[in-house]
Structure 1
Amino acid sequence: MKKRGHYDVSDLIEAQFEPGSHGRVLKNLLGIKSKREMDQVEAEEQLRALEELIRIYDQSHRFTLVDVHRIHKIWLGPIYVWAGQYRRVNLSKGDFPFAAANQIPRLMMELEKGPLRQFTPCRFTVMDEIVRAIAVVHTELLLIHPFREGNGRTARLLAILMALQAGLPPLDFGSIKGRERQKYFAAVQAGLDRDYTPMEKLFNAVIRRTRRIHER
């Protein structure tokens, strides 16, 4: 394996970078070489995808692993040829390894039979139960990290859809930056021990922020 930035990857298609991007932009269908431009395009596509996903999924929908694939594909399909497909490379962030690539199909099936079946549709009426449901699904999906890129944003799209099922407005994750991003990653790591309390605290804060924004 070769180490590129924060991630360890092998020389598969997911690991290829766009020529002329100096190893900063993954090979893409648009030929984009600038990281700033790619960040902008991905953000725009994410907004488009969210609008489409809201039309697709209603309050009674139980999410499955097929839906997770679909969310990723709808968002990044116009950009990457491998969108919606499980990664075939192993990923790590710093010294923290995500699930091995060859374990992803099994782990995603466990996610479907466990948290997704237990917590979706997310129609709980008590806020603590809503937060718990979103936090568990979010943490477990991020620990698997099933895709080459965009796992965090895919998990956040799913969290938004679950929140909408519970009657909340679309979640605003704008507060997760700087030091809060470190807390966010620590909350993901805590999930290895089935400790979801740190992620629940973060989602409580996200929901409070979202409600303040929508009450203005």
Structure 2
Amino acid sequence: MPKYELNSSEERYQPGSGNSVLANKLEITDMEKMEALESGLLLMLYEQLFIEGQLPEVLTFEHVRRWHHQWLGNVYDWAGKPRDANLTKDGFQFAAAGRIRPLIAGFEKQFLARYGELRALPRPELVSYLAECHVEFILIHPFREGNGRLSRLLCDVLSVQAGKSLLDYSLWDAHKAFYFKAIQAGISGNYRPMVKLISDILPD
């Protein structure tokens, strides 16, 4: 079973993968091999951002787009490009592809524009900010693949910018059902479940 249903002309899987691996430049057909490669490349991006490099002074969606391309650009043709496919997962539909660009503009204005203020935010306000930002990014799901992992990278960048450390997401992984319900609750503007999840992993 494919991880996502792609309901558009963009639906392309790697021949020989049994519709389990998206079409890729490396012609990888094994899902476990692809997952290992993506994880390794993401670790390299983390090292470049948090160890070798320096976080940006201002943050825009262009930075997020570049991170996505830097991470997956050698694997997928569509890396770093807002998706043109409508995506659903387990019956849950993310934002329609035609709305991605205006939603990105709104996300940038509502969340990323506050990047320079984060260090001054009291902890409760920072928790709420991170919770809402994470939920809205997931609901927009701007790229064809890798949105969940990229949303965590973004959350880590925001946490470090606020003077905190990288976050340990193992608690989220251990309670995936609650996490998915927290994302779904955000559709109606209820961010309380995600506030709980952020509060549990954000250092004091």
Structure 2 CA distance for aligned equivalents of residues 120 and 146 of structure 1: 23
Paired AA for residue 98 in structure 2: N
Structure 2 CA distance for aligned equivalents of residues 23 and 112 of structure 1: 34
**TM superposition shift of 1:121:** 4.9
Match of 1:68 in 2: 64
8 Å CA contact retained: 2:68, 2:79 = yes
8 Å CA contact retained: 1:119, 1:133 = no
Paired AA for residue 29 in structure 2: K
Structure 1 CA distance for aligned equivalents of residues 184 and 15 of structure 2: 34
Match of 2:102 in 1: 106
**TM superposition shift of 1:53:** 2.4
8 Å CA contact retained: 2:7, 2:86 = yes
Output the TM-score relative to the length of structure 2. Answer: 0.91
Alignment partner of 1:81 is 2:96: no
**3-state SS, counterpart of residue 69 of structure 2:** helix
Match of 1:7 in 2: 5
Aligned residues: 202
For residue 185 of structure 2, the aligned residue among 175, 181, 190 is 190
Match of 2:160 in 1: 164
**TM superposition shift of 1:123:** 1.4
Aligned residues: CA RMSD? 1.9
Alignment partner of 1:126 is 2:98: no
**TM superposition shift of 1:119:** 5.0
For residue 29 of structure 1, the aligned residue among 25, 35, 43 is 25
Match of 1:141 in 2: 137
**3-state SS, counterpart of residue 86 of structure 1:** coil
Match of 1:214 in 2: none
Structure 1: gaps spanning 5 or more residues = 212-216
Paired AA for residue 185 in structure 1: F
**3-state SS, counterpart of residue 111 of structure 2:** helix
Paired AA for residue 55 in structure 2: Y
Match of 1:201 in 2: 196
**3-state SS, counterpart of residue 74 of structure 2:** coil
Structure 1 CA distance for aligned equivalents of residues 41 and 108 of structure 2: 26
